[in-house]
Amino acid sequence: MRIGGLASGMDIDQIVRDLMKVERAPIDKLKQKKQILEWQRDDYRSMNTLLQDLDSYVFNNLTLQSSMLKKKVVSSDESVVTATANSSAANISTSLTVTEVATSATWVSADASRYTPSSTATTLKINVTNGDGTSPTDPVTITIAANSSLDAVISQLNSNSDLGITVFRDTRTGRISITKKDTGASASLKMGDATTASFFQSLGFTGVENGAELTGKTAGKNAQFTINGLSTARPTNTFTINNVTYTLKKTGTASVTTTNDTDAMFNVIKGFVDKYNEVIGKINGKLSEERYRDYLPLTDEQKEAMTEKQVELWEQKAKSGLLRRDSILSSGLSQMRLDLYSKVSNSPVNTNYDTLSEIGITTSSNYLENGKLIIDETKLRAAIENDPNAVYQLFNASGSNFDTKGIAQRLRDTIKNTIGKIEKKAGKTVWTNSQFEIGKSLNDLDKRIDAFEDRLKKVEDRYWKQFSAMEKAVQRANSQSMYLMNAFGGGAQ
């Protein structure tokens, strides 16, 4: 039972609170230390996010031939032919004369459909040959459920990928049209048995027989064209010759020119430089951030006494400089600079382009920019135009050691190593505290805080017992004094 100063007239509640403030000072320091570690952990993780973004850019752009060694393809008449090329295509000019574009085979019923739903399931067997002459090993089998409507049957035929057809019914005439989805002269649909032939007869395809081609056919055509004087044919309008993919649109003549896409490689490298400068700028900002040691994390009581803006400004100072001169980040940046500016000694690398400076990328002369990369755009474009493969190899040469690895490979190794060290220090969001150094320190602080909280409860209880005992003593004294006063007063009468 707590007695709050009724006998003594003292504000025992306030006295105990004031005493406990002094007692709580050590636990407040532990909580402040915990908060600082949590902020530091979060700062480390934000640095890892930056490094991971840089690594992703390098992997998705610098290391892929499809991003770096693009080809530019120009058609003199895109209404006749368009084209694309992969990175292995030669820089050539090709003349094409298209005399026939590929078309799809079609089958149109002679009569309107007389289809009526069957009370039993019907199994169709159709021998399919595609426009290029290929066909499934076995007949395509389709089972039509009992009582299926014509619309349901058409939907089922359209959705069968092995059959590869588009079926259309003209609601005005009732006739059925079937079109092969692929192009080419070899396409055919043959009846696999008498049941199948009878089914298509019910759709209006007169004269169709078991084992025979579906009637009402207009054969598909192969594309016919001449390429650099050579007459040839393809079952489709899109085909690849010598790493160039052509798409024929109509008959006519056009020339197709393939060249290196200088802009594509330039933009990828410039994007890398911009990303690298952004990342090292933010990391260097953290490494040089001022540390305000007088600005400790606020206690809950201190926050209550301040406005939200005051708390925000205070915490900006309190969070500042938690990674100042951090050895992990500093060594990671130093290694990245070494990765970028060391010569790549590998046989696929042109000795004229075995360093970044030789393709026009250097470090800023302003020491305050902490290794920011500067691009000489004219020099970089010239290197790309002169030998794009050499520029690609400068970044991507495959080697077993530092000297022989391309710049992108070195950089990814360093980023991976730095990220690993940071994770060992600050973990990842999916890790438990026991898996990384700061987390273990946080666990230890939690245990110490819990133990101290238990001790504070005991101290507070002790204070209340002492003051309660004092109150009881004062109350007894007051009672005795009143008794004496009453006694003496009674004798005088």
Q: pLDDT tens digit string along 359-412?
A: 999 998 887 788 899 999 999 999 999 999 999 999 999 999 999 999 999 999
To the nearest whole percent, how much of the chain has pLDDT over 90?
79
What six digits make up the tokens of 268? 């990828």
Q: Which residues are bridge partners to 238 per DSSP? A: 247
Of 85, 56, 43, 150, which is closest to residue 415 (Cα–Cα)? 56
Of 337, 327, 336, which is closest to residue 422 (Cα–Cα)? 327
Distance CA 342, CA 325 (A): 25
Tokens 């690849």 belong to residue: 240
Distance CA 265, CA 273 (A): 12
Tokens 């474009």 belong to residue: 381
Q: Which residues are bridge partners to 279 per DSSP? A: none
Count CA within 13 A, CB hemisphere, residue 349: 24
Give the confidence band of 208 by pLDDT, cuts at 50, 70, 90. very high
> Average pLDDT for residues 435-442, to the nearest whole number?
96
What residues contact 91, with CB distance under 8 A and at least 6 apart? 71, 258, 259, 260
Pairing of strands 252-260, 373-375: unpaired
| pLDDT value, residue 4 | 55
396 and 62 in contact (C-beta within 8 Å)? yes
Q: Where in 130-269 does DSSP place strands (E)?
A: 140-144, 165-169, 176-180, 188-191, 217-218, 223-227, 230-234, 238-241, 244-248, 252-260
Q: Which residues are bridge partners to 240 per DSSP? A: 245
Distance CA 25, CA 35 (A): 15
Phi, then psi, of 314 in degrees rounded to 5? -65, -45
| pLDDT value, residue 489 | 65
Phi/psi region, residue 370 (left: phi>0; alpha: psi -120 to 50; beta: rest), is left
| pLDDT value, residue 493 | 45
Q: CA distances (Å), 350 to each of 74, 345, 356, 382, in order?
A: 29, 9, 12, 14
What residues contact 110, with CB distance under 8 A and at least 6 apart? 175, 204, 205, 206, 207, 215, 216
| pLDDT value, residue 66 | 86
What six digits make up the tokens of 298? 């606020």
| pLDDT value, residue 492 | 46
290 and 320 in contact (C-beta within 8 Å)? yes
Give the confidence band of 300 by pLDDT, cuts at 50, 70, 90. confident
Q: Which residues are bridge partners to 84 per DSSP? A: 245
Report the amino acid identity of residue 89. Answer: A
Give the confidence band of 468 by pLDDT, cuts at 50, 70, 90. confident
Largest CA distance in the chain: 147
| pLDDT value, residue 460 | 75
pLDDT in tens, 325-352: 999 999 999 999 999 999 999 988 899 9
Q: CA distances (Å), 152 to each of 115, 116, 127, 204, 211, in order?
A: 12, 12, 22, 17, 25
pLDDT at 23 over 80: no
Phi/psi region, residue 436 (left: phi>0; alpha: psi -120 to 50; beta: rest), is beta
Residues, the chain, total? 493
**Cα torsion at 36, 41, 44, 49 (round to 10°)?**
-130
* Kind plus residue range of the DSSP H or E element containing 389: helix 388-396
Tokens 């939690």 belong to residue: 446
What six digits make up the tokens of 33? 């230390």
Which of 139-153, 173-187, 476-490 is least confident?
476-490
Q: CA distances (Å), 166 to each of 136, 160, 182, 205, 249, in order?
A: 18, 10, 10, 16, 22
> Average pLDDT for residues 60-77, to the nearest whole number?
93
| pLDDT value, residue 463 | 73
pLDDT in tens, 150-177: 999 999 999 999 999 999 999 999 999 9
Distance CA 154, CA 165 (A): 10
182 and 234 in contact (C-beta within 8 Å)? no
More confidently predicted of 50 and 368? 50
To the nearest whole percent, how much of the chain has pLDDT over 70?
95
Based on the number of CB atoms within 10 Å of its own CB, is 6 exposed (0-12), middle (13-18) or buried (19 or more)?
Answer: exposed
Distance CA 27, CA 451 (A): 10
Tokens 């004031």 belong to residue: 18
Distance CA 180, CA 162 (A): 11
> Average pLDDT for residues 5-18, to the nearest whole number?
64
Phi, then psi, of 478 in degrees rounded to 5? -65, -40
Query: If you average pLDDT over every residue of the chain, what do you get?
Result: 92
What six digits make up the tokens of 95? 């003349």
